[in-house]
Chains A and B, each alone.
Chain A
Amino acid sequence: MAQKDFINALEKKGVPTDTIDIVKEKYTNQTDLVKASVPELVDIGLDKETAEDLLTKLGKKEKVTRAPAKAKTASRRKAEKKQPEPTVPLVYENPDKSKKYSAFEEQLFKKCEELKLNLPRRVILNIAHRLEGNDISKENLVKILKVANQKYQDHLMDPNESAGILAAQSIGEPGTQMTMRTFHYAGVAEINVTLGLPRLIEIVDARRIPSTPMMTLYVNKELSGDIDTVKNIASNIEITTVLDLADIETDLHNMRLFIVPDLRKCLQKGLLDQDGNPVRGQSRPIELIKEKVSRLRGIVVVEDVARESLPPKVELAGEAGIGYLCLEPKEPSFKSLQKALDLVKAAKVKGVEGITRALLKKKDDQWVIFTEGSNLREVLKIDGLDHTRAYTNSIQEVNEVLGVEAARRSIIDEASHTLDEQGLSVDIRHIMLVADLMTADGDVKAIGRHGISGRKSSVLARAAFEITAAHLLTAAMTGEEDHLDGVAENIIVGQPVTLGTGAVNLVYAPKKGASE
């Protein structure tokens, strides 16, 4: 496959066929070939001129043309040399996340190395876990490792196994046994979460936004026992609009809006304590609202309103010391009044965009914040939260904020959690393979026509999946070639597939006349 592409690329660049025949013996890709020097190429049977010619065609100008046009290239090279200026080296230290091994574990690792056993780390750690603290003789230790290694080798997958189909079937088959409804999140009855088949489809589809985005946030360890602090943080995360805190009265006669904070609502949102006093560190609700509302466009805050013109409810609030706020649209018209009303209603007082609800739940002595809606990037900026444990079920968000490796992990976690929750056991390796395929080229690709299946190298395989005609037509236009390396295309032309026993080309030719 790669070889064919390589040859094609060379042909396209106008390299003569006889040269290609010689070159392809040694090199299998362009990168290696370009790196090669002229003498190296001469060594494999090219004469000097063709070699130079070849390299020029491959775009390796500097080195080859050095001799004839020295002056020109020299100046160019000077310019080039200047570019990579010795800037201050970026010092970035990876946080040391690697686990510290205990002495016993180290000993086991060493033993394995000595015995040249290729056991995975996890197996060795498990053995260590079991044996640590027990008096095990040296011989027995070696024996255990050897037996373990024997078993490990026995359990390895055979080469040419169709690992992909195995994974696809293992994930797809239990799909018929899954439920379709949304469920209440285990632990927090108040939050609805999509689970079961719809969630699994969502994951493999790599949707931008899950149908029920959700976050689980932990508070810094030292704060986690303190309900008030946690409550405070939660209320800073949850989006709070003016309407969530106050009632809005419209005075059509004077074309005014009055905002009257509702004490009960404020209490619920954690702005006031039981006695109606502002929670420490917070200003009064009315001040908060004023600060945000005054920034809105097209609205003016009116101070000193004549008492007579106040609606009765507002007047009461004023007397009770709760305070009120009077607003006027800049343009006195009913239309702009209505506009102003809508604007004020939805005005965000505090909180993080996208998070509609934040709930607290105690989880082994710790208060944990569960949110409806997700915004990882903003939440990570909030103090007091344990950022290392912040979790969202939005895979795209993880990809954007933390990168593709984290997204891969997120796919694995979400998919296996979805399957687990339904009581279906699926080996983690299958899920890992799907996640690895989805994230293989640096961002999250969907399983389906817009993702993986649409970018297959074979025209026939793509045509057989979906949008048949379009694929055939463009293939003809761009002169695509199908090398028949995959499964679908070989089935279409009626040949053995390239997996499993079909991948091996071993033919036994009996000696003529030997048996007769």
Chain B
Amino acid sequence: MMSGVSKRIGSIKFTCLSPDEIRKMSAIKIITADTYNDDGFPIDQGLMDTHLGVIEPGLMCKTCGHKVDECPGHFGNIDLAMPVIHVGYVKEIKKLLQATCKSCGRLVLTEDDVKEYQARLDTMEELGSDAIDLREFAKETAKAAAEKATKEVCPHCGVEQLKITLDKPTTFREDGHKLTPKEVRERLERIPDNDLIPLGIDPNACRPEWMVLTALPVPPVTVRPSITLESGDRSEDDLTHKLVDVLRINQRLRENRDAGAPQLIVEDLWELLQYHVTTYYDNQTSGIPPARHRSGRPLKTLVQRLKGKEGRFRSNLSGKRVNFSARTVVSPDPWLSINQVGVPTFAARELTVPVMVTKDNLEILRNMVKRGPEPAGVVYAPGVNYIIRVDGRRIRVTEKNAETVAEGLEIGYKVERHLMDGDVVLFNRQPSLHRMSMMAHLVKVMPGKTFRLNLCVCPPYNADFDGDEMNLHVLQSEEARAEAHILMKVQEHILSPRFGGPIIGAIHDHITGVFQLTYKNPRFDKAQTLFIVSKMGENKLPEPIIENGREYWTGKDLFSTILPKDFNAQFKSHICMKCQKCEKDGCQYDAWVKIRDGKVLMGTIDDNAIGSGGGKILDKIARDYGADRAREFLDDVTRLAIGAIMVSGFSTGIDDEDIPEEAKRQIDDKIHNTFQEVDQLVASYRDGTLDQMPGRSLEETLEVEAMKKLGEARDEAGRIAGKHLGISNSAVQMAKSGARGSMLNLSQMAGCIGQQAVRGERLSRGYWNRTLPHFKQGDLGAQAKGFVKNSYKSGLTPTEFFFHSMGGREGLVDTAVRTSRSGYMQRRLINALEDLKLKQDGTVRNTADSIIQFHYGEDGIDPTRSVQGEAIDLDDVLRDVLGEHYADLLSRADERKISLYATVEKDLMEATTDEDDEQEETEYDGGGDE
């Protein structure tokens, strides 16, 4: 039972195992290479000896007397007949041999040198150098000594030093003569403790002679369990296989040596033993062939077990498997609140929450237990799967014993009840790129088989419903639930820490809906109004406008009902035409939004007001009125929008891109003219009259000019097409309001797709001097180099289709490369920055307590709470204090805009080049593959 304060590990010290230690901690000495006898029982002093722990049920550990799962396992040892070198330390051994005297073992530096190095080491330590700096310095010392050894005699005993070389991986040579591990060990033994410190070795943690192994620890069987196959055969772990090899050769070596076999044979066996021990540690040592399984698969030995993404560290220690989690497909449900998640009953009956029985909830829980693990009834009611008694025993509740268990329930018991409405759970979608990828939701148990979520949380999770699956975790402790409630709930994450604006907000139809509700302020009669308002919860109808004796409500008035009563804001809509001089209140496009005291006075509500990724109204509500109010607002606004869009209905189809014949002819003419212009360019290029651009070759000049001309043609085609697509067109409504798509997408559908590009250039590769055999060699005209003059609607010719696929393919490759590259970059960033935290004094420090920033972000502002990067919203402050006078000040400030350090919002539409829309295209195509 865990209760109260748990103990903390203070620190972990790393040291080498000495042979003595290996023998001391060994439960048994292993001598036989065999594992099991004919009856299937472990052989004594074999690799599966029961002194090393047990893996089979029924057997008892001879060391601790526990059974499977209770005995942690115990180490054994192998005494090596001859010493062998530890591969991991080969470089260190070489360094030591080179830096020390062959006869007296002292460091080949004079006392004064040593003192000087020691002094420098001390200063470094005092100045707070980290372990790595000290290690670098030790390397330097060793190098100095090694260099001295090649030139001079030992200053302590005057013996001349010979050159030590290393034959990878583990053979040392002195002037060409082989040094046996035994000799190496003897030399290392001679090095005095005091001479090790300047070399960066802690003699208390690791004597150098321990780097040459004389005893090998044998890991417990629990670390290398054997598995029994269906056929009844046993299959041993890779480590066991390797240890068998070691034991076998060790045995042979000992026998041969004792029998006085020829030196040659002993040496061969010794080398073989070295090979097996080497591969036992690291089976990817360069220079030797990896040890293989009978099937040819390389063995996974110690280093391989720890290393890499699937290794112990990253796969089992930094990330762990958990219980009380679920995963299934997600689907949308607009009637859920943003902080809810629909959980299928099926999953809810498996996932449980532990509840402590107290005198207050005893009866309630008793009822639950009575219901058993599968309560009947149409309405979902939580049952119980397990109860845990005070002594820690876990009792499974079944239909049969439910009554009796319920009667026996006492205070202090724990009841693992099913999930029920209102429980807090964590919801997550991979890749978890930011903290909004895992948020706390409140459970709503529902029929069906999928997790249901509100559409507004799609952007933070980056989820869609083309088959995406998500994970759900049920919290098991009171502390965890408290933290989830306070810190992790969806509404706490409406504002993104990345840019200080809302990342959770209305999307797609929500935006079209409010756009239709507010653009040019339409009127609704009573039936329509009630239909719209009925989608929201309780709401009071605003005062109607009475005309000709009939009641009307305007869209802006309806929208105003969900705003906080004292809400004020003003900003530009997404539909803003970006006129030279903004008319503000006099905007003829209804694009200037002005809200006073919770009333929308003018302007269209759209993406810029409530959208995810920068909705101004949402932003302000979340910051000034709190997360819960923002949640309420978001729930209301999405429902209102759905009501509004359902009044007239909304759909888009291919006929939205219909343009009159006249317009088509104009586009054709324009493109035709451009083709001729390009041909002229090509002609002038051929006869050399083309004006070369400075710093560019003639070919490049032509390409640039042609690209420019063709780009203009595409834009012009789009403009002509756009003229015939009015705001009543639903595709245009979506583009203008920011719900989905752009005018560029539209012009590609209705007008002309334009130039296809690979690597930012016109298509050129394929056949000799031409892209396809349909063109003449050396044709530099528009169509031969990938210009698509058709629109998506009119359909592409075969060559155009091919060119379009070329551009599309590049996008796909790009996306694939990008995800892996950016993934690695993020891993590195996280790893480098994970330890930084803001201390109480406002500084940012790392774990070594050294200061990284004296004042976080130079002003201590939390980017989440910042106003688009600024510390405070000055407009608000001024209006609060000065009131009406404020309007005058504001207009002045706009003219004298101060250049900000932080990012300024960019108009993407204007910056889009044809390369970029290629991108978008593929992203859309790629969406289905996920």
Give the interface of A toward B (CB within 8 A).
1-2, 4-5, 9, 30-31, 59, 120, 122-123, 126-127, 129-131, 134, 136, 140, 143-144, 147-148, 151-152, 154-176, 178-184, 189-190, 197-198, 200-201, 204, 268, 357, 359, 416, 419-420, 423-430, 432-434, 436-437, 440, 447-449, 451-461, 463-465, 468-470, 472-488, 491-493, 495, 498-501, 503, 507
Residue of B15, B826, B834 with highest tally of chain A CB at under 10 A: B834
Q: Which residues of B contact A481 (CB under 8 A)?
A: 11-14
Question: Is the C-beta of B839 less than 8 angstroms from some C-beta in chain A?
Answer: yes
Given A168-B833, A359-B695, A447-B829, A464-B901 contact (CB < 8 Å): no
- The chain B residue with its CB closest to the CB of A192 is B760
Tally of contacts, chain A with chain B, CB under 8 A: 390
How many Å lie between the Cα of A457 and that of B497 in the bound state?
28
Question: Is the C-beta of B447 less than 8 angstroms from some C-beta in chain A?
Answer: no
Q: Which residues of B contact A1 (CB under 8 A)?
A: 847-849
How many Å lie between the Cα of A126 and that of B872 in the bound state?
10
Determine whether the beta carbon of A499 is less than 8 Å from that of B837: yes
Determine whether the beta carbon of A477 is less than 8 Å from that of B201: yes
Determine whether the beta carbon of A451 is less than 8 Å from that of B832: yes
Determine whether the beta carbon of A477 is less than 8 Å from that of B831: no
Question: Is the C-beta of B819 less than 8 angstroms from some C-beta in chain A?
Answer: yes
Question: Is the C-beta of B541 less than 8 angstroms from some C-beta in chain A?
Answer: no
How many Å lie between the Cα of A170 and that of B832 in the bound state?
14
The smallest C-beta distance from A6 to any residue of chain B, in angstroms, reads: 10
Q: Which residues of B contact A156 (CB under 8 A)?
A: 860-862, 865
In chain B between 827 and 843, which residues have their CB closer than 8 angstroms to a CB of chain A? Answer: 828-840
Determine whether the beta carbon of B826 is less than 8 Å from that of A173: yes
Q: Which residues of B contact A197 (CB under 8 A)?
A: 818, 821-822, 825
The smallest C-beta distance from A474 to any residue of chain B, in angstroms, reads: 7
How many Å lie between the Cα of A191 and that of B696 in the bound state?
10
Given A163-B837, A181-B759, A433-B852, A492-B317 contact (CB < 8 Å): yes
Q: Which residues of B contact A416 (CB under 8 A)?
A: 901, 903
Determine whether the beta carbon of B695 is less than 8 Å from that of A479: no
Determine whether the beta carbon of B14 is less than 8 Å from that of A479: yes
Q: Which residues of B contact A474 (CB under 8 A)?
A: 135
Determine whether the beta carbon of B863 is less than 8 Å from that of A429: yes
Given A151-B872, A175-B826, A488-B831, A479-B877 contact (CB < 8 Å): no
Question: Is the C-beta of B326 less than 8 angstroms from some C-beta in chain A?
Answer: no
Question: Is the C-beta of B814 less than 8 angstroms from some C-beta in chain A?
Answer: yes
The smallest C-beta distance from B881 to any residue of chain A, in angstroms, reads: 5
- Encode B391-428 as 1/0 by CB contact (under 8 A) with A: 00000000000000000000000000000000000000
Q: Which residues of B contact A140 (CB under 8 A)?
A: 881-882
20 pairs from A and B in contact (CB 8 Å cutoff): A123-B859, A130-B878, A155-B865, A158-B838, A162-B834, A164-B832, A175-B825, A198-B821, A424-B903, A428-B869, A429-B857, A430-B498, A430-B863, A447-B832, A469-B306, A476-B205, A479-B13, A481-B12, A485-B847, A492-B313
How many Å lie between the Cα of A453 and that of B836 in the bound state?
12
The smallest C-beta distance from B877 to any residue of chain A, in angstroms, reads: 5
Question: Is the C-beta of B873 less than 8 angstroms from some C-beta in chain A?
Answer: yes
Determine whether the beta carbon of A469 is less than 8 Å from that of B307: yes
Interface size on B, residues (CB 8 A): 130
How many Å lie between the Cα of A31 and that of B127 in the bound state?
9
How many Å lie between the Cα of A184 and that of B91 in the bound state?
48
Residue of A140, A459, A477 with highest tally of chain B CB at under 10 A: A477
Question: Is the C-beta of B130 less than 8 angstroms from some C-beta in chain A?
Answer: yes
Determine whether the beta carbon of A429 is less than 8 Å from that of B825: no
- The chain A residue with its CB closest to the CB of B614 is A425
Given A447-B828, A478-B135, A507-B5, A359-B694 contact (CB < 8 Å): yes
Q: Which residues of B contact A4 (CB under 8 A)?
A: 11
- Of the candidates A164, A171, A473, A482, which one forms a contact with B88 in the assembled complex, judged by CB atoms under 8 Å apart? A473
- Encode B852-880 as 1/0 by CB contact (under 8 A) with A: 11001111111101110111111011101
The smallest C-beta distance from B4 to any residue of chain A, in angstroms, reads: 8
How many Å lie between the Cα of A458 and that of B12 in the bound state?
10
Determine whether the beta carbon of B871 is less than 8 Å from that of A427: no
Determine whether the beta carbon of B695 is less than 8 Å from that of A357: yes
Q: Which residues of B contact A475 (CB under 8 A)?
A: 14
Determine whether the beta carbon of B760 is less than 8 Å from that of A161: no
Question: Is the C-beta of B687 less than 8 angstroms from some C-beta in chain A?
Answer: no
Segment with Cβ contacts to A, from B148-156, B655-663, B905-913: B905-913
- Of the candidates B205, B834, B908, which one forms a contact with A487 in the assembled complex, judged by CB atoms under 8 Å apart? B834
Determine whether the beta carbon of A427 is less than 8 Å from that of B498: yes
- The chain A residue with its CB closest to the CB of B11 is A483
Determine whether the beta carbon of A463 is less than 8 Å from that of B313: yes
